């Protein structure tokens, strides 16, 4: 689902003009892509913030241009409060684009009831999909997560036709016993890692040598 964003043409560029626009409550923008010329635009700050606030990525531009675009990059002020500039990439329904989407947990892990601590290790993941199928967030199902278990990238719920752009065996969620008093937290987390099989003795020697 896409949002509507009203845009107006920008007659001039440069830092002075950008400050003037921001003073009027507008955010400078540039639209590019699909081999067409770049178009200098501006959008109302409040409207842009409203789109970003609820996780919108695709916008239907109205006003100076009428196109569908992806919010490719958003520059913020030093405090991360106000947007300073936005890059818009032209897209069509058939384009396959790469976007980063936040991950959240869904369900209750049986391992948690057994005393384990459920930890979300990766908070967002990059996927490739069409503009109309970009989800606001991706769910990591933990309803079957037992003590010592984990959820991998390939276990995530993705929209039809979407795929994770990197290794599907990346660990997203773990469920391990809490660290005992005086024990390093990493030691407890290591219990959830699979054992290395067939490791060469020479490699172990190299590790000891490095420590020395």
In the chain the beta strands, taken as DSSP E runs, fall at 3-9, 26-33, 36-44, 58-63, 68-76, 83-90, 97-106, 117-120, 124-129, 138-141, 150-152, 163-164, 171-176
Can 3-90 and 97-190 be said to share one CATH topology? no
Instruction: Give dist(CA 36, CA 211) in Å, integer.
Output: 56
Report the 10 Å Cβ neighbour count for 73.
11
Rounded to two decimals, the pTM is 0.68
Count CB-CB contacts under 10 A for residue 32: 15
CA distance 156 to 160: 12
Residue 84 near residue 77 (C-beta atoms within 8 A): yes
Its CATH class, for the domain covering 97-190, is mainly beta
Q: Tens of pLDDT along 181-204?
A: 665 554 444 444 443 333 344 444
For residue 5, what pLDDT is reported? 96
Res 206: pLDDT: 43
Homologous superfamily of 3-90 in CATH? Ribosomal Protein L25; Chain P (2.40.240.10)
- 162 token code pair: 């979407």
* pLDDT digit string, tens, across residues 127-149: 999 998 998 899 999 999 999 99
Sites in the chain below the pLDDT cut of 50: 186-212
Q: Where are the domains of the chain?
A: 3-90, 97-190
pLDDT of 197: 36
Cα 87 from chain centre: 17
Contact by Cβ (8 Å): 192, 148: yes
């Amino acid at each position: 689902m896409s949002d509507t964003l009203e845009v107006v043409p920008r007659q001039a560029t440069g830092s002075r003009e950008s400050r003037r626009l921001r003073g009027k409550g507008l955010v400078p923008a540039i639209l590019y892509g699909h081999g067409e010329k770049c178009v200098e635009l501006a959008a109302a700050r409040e409207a842009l913030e409203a789109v970003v606030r609820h996780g919108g990525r695709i916008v239907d531009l109205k006003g100076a241009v009428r196109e569908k675009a992806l919010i490719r990059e958003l520059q913020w002020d030093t405090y991360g409060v106000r947007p300073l500039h936005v890059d818009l990439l032209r897209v069509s329904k058939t384009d396959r684009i790469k976007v980063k989407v936040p991950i959240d947990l869904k369900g209750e892990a049986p391992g948690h009831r057994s005393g384990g601590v459920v930890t979300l290790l990766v908070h967002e993941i990059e996927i490739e999909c069409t503009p109309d199928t970009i989800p606001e967030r991706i769910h990591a199902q933990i309803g079957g997560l037992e003590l010592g278990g984990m959820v991998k990238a390939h276990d995530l719920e993705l929209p039809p036709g979407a795929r994770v752009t990197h290794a599907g065996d990346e660990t997203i969620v773990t469920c391990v016993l809490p660290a005992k008093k005086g024990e390093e937290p990493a030691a407890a987390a290591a219990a959830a890692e699979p054992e290395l099989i067939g490791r060469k003795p020479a490699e172990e020697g190299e590790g000891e040598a490095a420590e020395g």
